[in-house]
Structure 1
Amino acid sequence: MTINTIVNGYSTENQKTKKSKVIFVMGATATGKSKLSVDLAVHFNGEIINSDKIQVYKGLDIVTNKVTNEETRGIPHHLLGIVEDPDQDFSADDFRRHGKDAIESVLSNGKVPIVAGGSNSYVEHLVDDPNFSRRFECCFIWVDVSLPVLHKRAKERVDQMVAAGLLDEVREMFVAGADYGRGIRRAIGLPELEAYFTVEKDSNVDEATKAKILANCIEETKKNTLKLIDSQLGKIRRLREEVGWKLQRVDATAVHEKCGRDAQLAWEQRVLKKSFEIVRAFLN
């Protein structure tokens, strides 16, 4: 006869199969994933695991849109800027291994693991791993923004990145003839600006031509950012509609249609309120 006792509110039989809980914040670039993950971590005593395959590399903080120290609000971020070699490949298998270890580390600290980033194929590789699925229960929050609004926001963000020093950052990394198919050089903004940096110091090219080339490079950066957004959304919809993941959609469109205090109010009312309800129900 099996003796089934009660310990800490769970039967010993159930404790053997009880899964640890992990929150995933997903969405296309520029939707507000990083901001939401920090808000969730602050509210629910969590730590964040980066799931952006470019942000794992050290450097190029503007190009890769890493959160600033101020934006982290003191919340530990794992797998952020951990790869020092810009040419080293960080594969989906690498993310699966490091991601699982980071989740275990967060849990051992008594905190809630919150995985956030835009590399959906890497997240899928982690979640679909049999060992992971046996041990962890997942809550998926999808931060979504209507496409016209999101495209406008993404193009504005490229301009903001340029104003913040993107050119100086890329210039330091520029190597003529570099391989843009591996490592951190895959980041949108590096291959697009190659044409400009190739002629930037060429005295045979006049300043007007250089300015035109730069404008074209920036426009190409915007176009490729929009292509990335469309690709990310396609993968998310496949995970939701074909694979069957229970992604709970949170509409942040109103936030990006406003500015200042109005945007913050929309964030609190349209995004935080629903996200807090989702996570609270999941953790309880």
Structure 2
Amino acid sequence: MDQFIPVRRRKDKVVIVMGATGTGKSRLSIDLATRFEAEIVNSDKMQVYKGLNIVTNKVTEEECRGITHHLLGIVDPDVDFAAVDFVRRASTAVDSITRKGKLPIIAGGSNSYIKALVNDDMEFQSKYECCFLWVDVSMPVLKKFVSKRVEQMVDANLIDEAREFFDPEGNYTRGIKRAIGVLELDEFFRNESILDYEMRARLPEDAIDKIKANTCKLACNQLQNIFRLRNQLEWRMYQFYFSRAQNEGKMRKNGEEI
């Protein structure tokens, strides 16, 4: 009779690194990939697009440290890349990684993409077992870090990069133009040729303040979404709680320190 009993297929492991913007997801995923034989699948909905490397804070070739990244800068800027597109492309990438005997690490801040893949796609559920790593940073510390990071991005030529996607018609609802840092600079790009010296200096500063504020707002929304996913879907998450200011960290599982 044993021959008629179905054998349960052993599921392959997938690591999913979650967290709000600016918490260090990319760095953790690369650190893990250098320790374990792994490749990384990007799950940030703006970083999937080609262009705006500074605005979207894509990891540089040097920061990748030789680790293969999938779904990073692959989509044309004007194309809408929905959750269903991510599921299809991410599933293909994860399959190819596991076939090579490597560990897939999915990292990014777009929780809707993660939910669509892990919770809504039955084929993915049947093939993979997920380990969720949540990188968390106290909000006051994170806000300071986000502000500093935006300033560094400005120094790295954020404004000129965003200018390439200025839309005279003011349509920033499609593709990569939705990225924080593009719409906020619209007023400056629209009027810079007619502004006096004082206004040409003030408008970019106002835009930069808006970028900082909107990035912090995004971080708060992402954090709320992570709480919602953990509580509603009962995902078992290993929470890494760090203070960037003190360079200290604690590890929690489902909110309890371990």
Q: What is residue 81 of structure 2 aligned with on the other side? A: 90
Letter matched to residue 103 of structure 1: V
The offset of 1:134, in angstroms, is 1.2
Q: Given the alignment of the two structures, is residue 64 of structure 1 paired with residue 52 of structure 2, yes or no? A: no
CA distance in 1, matches of 2:144, 2:169: 32
Letter matched to residue 79 of structure 2: Q
Q: What is residue 176 of structure 1 aligned with on the other side? A: 168
The offset of 1:243, in angstroms, is 1.8
The offset of 1:175, in angstroms, is 2.5
Q: What is residue 257 of structure 1 aligned with on the other side? A: 245
The one of 37, 44, 48 aligned to 1:45: 37
Q: What is residue 221 of structure 2 aligned with on the other side? A: 231
Q: What is residue 212 of structure 1 aligned with on the other side? A: 202
The offset of 1:242, in angstroms, is 2.0
Q: What's the secondary structure of 2:41's corresponding residue?
A: strand
CA distance in 2, matches of 1:115, 1:98: 12
Aligned residues: 251
Higher mean C-alpha deviation, range 243-252 or range 141-150: 243-252
Q: What is residue 278 of structure 1 aligned with on the other side? A: none
The offset of 1:213, in angstroms, is 1.2
Q: Which has the higher helix share?
A: 1
Tell me the C-alpha RMSD between the 2 structures: 1.7
Q: What is residue 2 of structure 1 aligned with on the other side? A: 2
CA distance in 1, matches of 2:12, 2:106: 14
Q: What is residue 47 of structure 2 aligned with on the other side? A: 55
Q: What is residue 211 of structure 2 aligned with on the other side? A: 221
The one of 96, 100, 104 aligned to 1:105: 96
Q: What's the secondary structure of 2:2's corresponding residue?
A: coil
Q: What is residue 124 of structure 1 aligned with on the other side? A: 115
Q: What is residue 22 of structure 1 aligned with on the other side? A: 14
Contact 2:16–2:133 under 8 Å retained in 1: yes
Q: What is residue 245 of structure 1 aligned with on the other side? A: 235
TM value normalised by structure 2:
0.93
Instruction: Give per-residue Cα distances to partners, 1:9-54, cap 9 Å, x unaligned.
Output: xxx965x421111000000000000000001011111000000010
Q: What is residue 74 of structure 1 aligned with on the other side? A: 66
CA distance in 2, matches of 1:154, 1:243: 29
Which one has a bigger Cα radius of gyration?
1
Letter matched to residue 234 of structure 1: Q
Letter matched to residue 93 of structure 1: V
Structure 1: stretches of 5+ with no match in the other structure: 5-11, 276-284
Structure 2: stretches of 5+ with no match in the other structure: 253-258
The offset of 1:176, in angstroms, is 1.3
Q: What is residue 135 of structure 2 aligned with on the other side? A: 143
The offset of 1:3, in angstroms, is 4.6
CA distance in 1, matches of 2:172, 2:131: 35
